[in-house]
Chains A and B, each alone.
Chain A
């Protein structure tokens, strides 16, 4: 056990000395990983926020059930309870004729139109909010069909076109995230591997001497893998820092323009776990890059 600890200590010291000893190439490797991860991270932020935005839009996906005009308030309430029991319905809210008129009056230009009306022309309705897993076009149709056959229902409105557009956008963002994220990740890996390979050439003499004094393949490789991992983690941490600085500095300047698209919803930065994930991805990238750089080398 003590020998294992001793060897582990030697390997860690060798890795630390390697980082110190070739500071310039280490800095280049760390910067390369930082730049690569800033790109991946910025894209991740964009996708994460778009997905959040789509989720918020998704919450607005609802079915409006217009009720027959002669339905008594008691029958309306009974109908609401029956609607709420249908699978996929998260909540069902009754909008009385009076409330509908009040809402119309408060809407832009509504007050002028309502003025002079002798009686309320608006029907009572039930507004159905759907559960998260019932927001796709097929599921919405299924809920709508179940509601349509209930007695007292006059008409349904569920904005089919809007729902389909939402669904297409969500799917597009998911596909783009996977494709572009994959390409960026691969590009980052190749760049990092290449940078570490160059750093390795600069230390060819050290590898030669180590082999000469009888260092095993693992003894030569492990410090390089550790160095790559440390460089990757440092690059990941720097990327998180840069992204946060960018997010904090530039967001206020574009917030007004963004509000046109996303309303009052404010973009969010990575959660602690996600930021940790980016640093871990950097460490993994550095280690894999070192492993790739060492491929094909004889001990």
Chain B
């Protein structure tokens, strides 16, 4: 039996995400995540599905080192999250893009400044940063809104902005937690196309969602969680 159940889905020895018997417990005796072993290969697109409370968000939080696992080991971009020192977290996060359902944008700053924040933390010179932000905003269709504030944008535009911020540093890993949860169907597809586009350019993408129609439409690898455990895995509608 393979240690990593997902190995058949294009995973390699240098897989950006590998979890090994990972559990997370907030209250003694109860698990938000239980014995999760998973491997996601470079450039792979994976849906994490499951009902509310299944452990999707907890798994994403562990992957971007917002929390540490209670048991097991997690390797993200070659770093062991369980043993990561606090000072090693920022350099890791610079290589991970994160998108949330509630966007997490700063309304005090303009669209351009919101994206620039991610470039500022890596010390990108101002001129270069503005050029890169403009190119990316153009890619997500917000170049004419760059001096606006997020509050004046529609929900779809706000999520596109959040995606631009997540992608501006060309991350090796993109994590999205219910990125279309607040959006209507047309906007959902628009956002998912942007995220899927990142995978085609070599970024490993993990999207947590409970929207099964989305999963079926894109036909990517699916990891289904329930009660904190992996219940099934499959792709393009084929389950095992």
**A interface list, Cβ under 8 A from B:** 3, 6-7, 9-10, 14, 17, 21-22, 205-206, 208-217, 219, 298-299
Contact = CB atoms under 8 A, between A and B. Distances in A.
Residue in B64, B113, B122 whose Cβ sees the most chain A Cβ within 10 Å: B122
Interface string B118-130: 1011111110000
B165 A213 contact: yes
Given A10-B120, A298-B86, A212 B106 contact: no
Nearest to B95: A214
Given A10-B120, A208-B104, A216 B90 contact: yes
A7 B126 CA distance: 10
Given A213-B94, A215-B90, A21 B109 contact: yes
B165 A9 contact: no
Nearest to A20: B108
Given A214-B92, A214-B93, A209 B117 contact: yes
A170 B96 CA distance: 66
B117 A216 contact: no
6 contacts: A17-B113, A213-B165, A213-B169, A214-B92, A298-B86, A299-B86
A212 B166 CA distance: 10
Nearest to A205: B106
Nearest to B168: A213
A205 B117 contact: no
Contact of A213 (B108, B109, B118, B123): B118
Given A21-B109, A206-B106, A209-B106, A214 B122 contact: yes
Nearest to A213: B118
Contacts of B89: 299
Contacts of B165: 213
Contact of A3 (B91, B108, B123): B123
Given A9-B126, A299-B90, A214 B108 contact: no
Contacts of B124: 6
Contacts of A298: 86
Contacts of B113: 17
Contact of B123 (A6, A21, A22): A6
B98 interface: yes
Given A10-B120, A219-B121, A212 B104 contact: yes
Interface residues of B, number: 29
Nearest to B115: A213
Interface in B183-213: none
A156 to B, nearest CB: 74
A7 B119 CA distance: 11
Contacts of A205: 104, 106
A215 B116 CA distance: 12
B144 interface: no
A21 B86 contact: no
Contacts of B64: 212
Contacts of B109: 17, 21
Contacts of B95: 214
A7 B124 CA distance: 8
Nearest to A2: B125
Given A213-B165, A298-B86, A10 B123 contact: yes
Contacts of A299: 86, 89-90
Given A3-B123, A6-B125, A21-B108, A213 B86 contact: no
B93 A212 contact: yes
Contacts of A208: 104
Contacts of A10: 120, 123, 126
Interface in B73-98: 86-87, 89-96, 98
A212 B98 contact: yes
Nearest to B125: A6
A217 B113 CA distance: 20
A7 B118 CA distance: 13
B45 to A, nearest CB: 22
Nearest to B92: A214
Given A21-B109, A299-B89, A210 B117 contact: yes
